[in-house]
Amino acid sequence: MDRTKQPSPQQIRIAFLVTAVGGLLFTFDLPLLRLSLADQWTMVFTRGVFLFLAIAGAWLMARLLKGDRTPFIAGAAGLAVICSSTIGNMAYIGAIVHTNAANVVFIIALTPVIAATLSRSVLGERIHPFTWAATVMAFLGAAIIAWDGIHSGDVLGDALAFISACSSATAFTIIRASGKKVATCLAVGSLVSALIALIFFGVMPSLLLADGAFGLPAWFWLGLNGFIAIPLATVLLASGPRVLPSADVSMFFMLETVLTPVWIWLLFGEVPGRMVLIGGLLVIVTLMAHSWWRLALSVKQQPELVPNRQT
């Protein structure tokens, strides 16, 4: 989509719905990985292979059955997305191994404010003062979480979660700038992550037959994650920036922030610390207020929703 052309209200509403469903599916990412009870690099390898096969298969079917001519790698923009996706995948799984779930999802919730900063500095898109205020408040909440991580020895996991958030925001910004379909490039990034795990970290595929949660083998939970839930979420979220600003699309990571700790608490009884809850609450309230404000703009079709380059 041409970024200089204002989308219709119907296109905006559909884009919000599609990205909301994608964000909801992403809330099952961390719980499904934890249910596999696999080690870090086995998760990187298996999730990457499954996600690549699922998205590449969908691309091939669209090409054969519908005549879709979308290239598998969308030029330089696609290569940049592959790089950011590779880094983000490995950092995310490293984070869930080295720190608790609440720390991960609250820090990942910084994705929209990082995306807003990149949109302003790289794309020259206008950022509303309310967005800047939300950025400051969200970073304050993340700082509280990081401070708790330093004192509890989880600083590595917190740092990896922040790297993952930066990588996601970078990918959204690249998609926004190019306007191209790059879901397959996200899949290639997952495959590259899997190959790195296999070559450099000695992954043993036989571990996939080991018991995961509820007596089911590890491959079942990793397959449910990498072959169904996350490919669908990736495709839906990757389509959003072609209509909506990247900061708006990444706001739907807020669903992961709210729901993932609930799933983890129900499944594993993992309760976040007091400082993590304080910082996380600040992030959630800030992002909820900002998201509702942006949605109101979409309904009214205010100029602020449609990004413009400053001249």
Two tokens, residue 199: 């070559």
pLDDT attached to residue 201: 86
Whether the Cβ atoms of residue 185 and residue 88 lie closer than 8 Å to each other: no
Give pLDDT, residue 295.
65
List C-alpha distances in Å: 90 to 85, 97, 180, 192.
9, 11, 24, 10
- The predicted pLDDT at position 311 comes to 32
State how far the Cα of 128 lies from the Cα of 132, in Å rounded to an integer.
Answer: 7
- pLDDT 10s digit of each residue in the chain, 311 long? 445 566 777 777 788 788 888 888 888 988 999 999 988 889 989 989 998 999 889 888 888 888 878 888 878 888 999 999 999 989 988 998 888 777 887 788 788 778 878 877 777 777 677 777 877 787 788 778 767 766 665 788 889 999 999 998 898 888 878 777 777 888 899 899 999 998 888 888 788 888 888 889 999 999 999 889 988 887 787 777 667 765 566 667 667 777 787 788 888 887 777 887 888 788 778 877 876 776 676 556 544 444 444 43
pTM of the model: 0.72
Distance CA 140, CA 86 (A): 28
pLDDT for the residue numbered 182: 77
Burial pattern 210-237, b for ≥16 Cβ within 10 A else e, equals: eebbeeebbbbbbbbbbbbbbbbbbbbb
pLDDT at 309: 40
